[in-house]
Structure 1
């Protein structure tokens, strides 16, 4: 997502780093993001929602499904290689 959107948070897209952080750190990061979201005004949330809607083509499951399939295949290949 960071490759396609310069400032994802301003679009209402919050990315939790689960790859390089421990589960506890990821949960804390998510909790912090949620807390910051609750502190936004109604107007700020509306602006964020409208920006997110402009990304609907990028966030469509036709596009996300392709990425999920590629990642899933990559994980399967890596797992198979490590087992063999």
Structure 2
């Protein structure tokens, strides 16, 4: 999730770390990202989860599942359940 396109306080250091490490430093790391957002904030919707996903890939990590996007103004739980099945 994010607030005005910025990471929440519990993810700020992680995002900063991702920006500072060099390409290739995360080789061998496998990851998945599921973002939580509200489509009513269209200009920043899913910005932070997308940024994290892109940074992890650029730094050499490998996705083991496509990025998921949950919309709290919709059926968030259903979206999460569908993503977990994929």
Give the TM bin, normalised by the shorter chain: under 0.3
TM-score by length of 1: 0.28
Which structure is richer in relative contact order (CA contacts within 8 A, separation 6 or more)?
2
TM-score by length of 2: 0.27
Normalized per residue, which structure has more strand?
2
